[in-house]
Structure 1
């Protein structure tokens, strides 16, 4: 399944912005950083709780919300569920939590770790100002689903091309390969999706979801392996019939993996 959304670039404008975080010193830091590094931002209010944040959003109708994930009276996601329609962009502010960070990575939604890095904040704000709202809502929907989905293969991965946003279940990805500074994904529908990210960015992200680095230029979904051929230096035949070359190290690791599966 994939959802495609068309959209072009938007002219940068002032972003009415809310800060919602239950730590006063974090709100103070964000105020200072926004004032110093984000000239496109107009701060219109702040709140220290889920309830207060919901009130501020309804009253101020912001373009952008800097939203803490965990607060005393609930989570940022609890706050979002109070709204039938999300008409604003969000940059999540969070402490290091591996599962949450993976969910953000899959969904391509911006987040900033505490303590807040000024450069990362400025970059995230700039992206928010340029992003189409419908595109953001697709990514947010994927994030909310991924946060509720413990099964790794059922997670949804957002892939953004120049003019489209794809929402794909991880199990529907057969393999991805490197093409200079781009990564090309092949799906079960034999669709090729090219994104402007390096393969190494997806290596760590997909490692826990059954993907294997069989070659420096190829990352394969283990569930889609049909067979391994030892001829011609060794290659993997995938479920769609494509042949993926294996490096000597990749071949060794793959054989070890097959032995573990057979022995288990």
Structure 2
């Protein structure tokens, strides 16, 4: 699984929850668009990509369609902007979660629906 998020606390929270869902899951992290795109350029493929809406070097929406071709994309947003969430779904995200709503239950539901 890949977590693309520039916030250390948010990445740590998601990493801990993912370990509770599956203790053996491999988790790779990227802190910006550049490092996420580098992983794609290296041919890395992930079952699931958790993609933050705002990154220091661009908009997370710009990455959705690139990752959605090979992976299940879960779009994470710190706001409840339905326009952005709808755009993420239109571009290929399978789910949109508010960062405040990311919990063990929501991850279990999201991963089981799309695995």
What residue number does 1:99 align with?
Answer: 83
- Cα pair 2:50 2:75 within 8 Å, conserved: yes
Please point out which of 25, 49, 59 is paired with 2:32: 49
What residue number does 1:18 align with?
Answer: 2
What residue number does 1:113 align with?
Answer: 98
Structure 1 spans left out of the alignment, 5+ residues: 1-16, 130-264
Q: Distance in 1 between matches of 2:56 and 2:7?
A: 10
- Cα pair 2:61 2:88 within 8 Å, conserved: no
Tell me the alpha carbon deviations over residues 85-121 of structure 1, each in whole angstroms, 9 at most, x when there is no partner: 8111101111221322344677883111112222111
Q: Distance in 1 between matches of 2:68 and 2:99?
A: 28
TM-score between both structures, scaled by the size of structure 2: 0.79
Larger RCO, structures 1/2 (Cα 8 Å, 6+ apart): 2
- Whose Rg is larger? 1
Structure that is richer in helix per residue: 2
After the TM superposition, list the runs of 4 or more consecutive aligned residues in structure 1 that deviate by more than 4 angstroms.
102-108
- Cα pair 1:45 1:56 within 8 Å, conserved: no
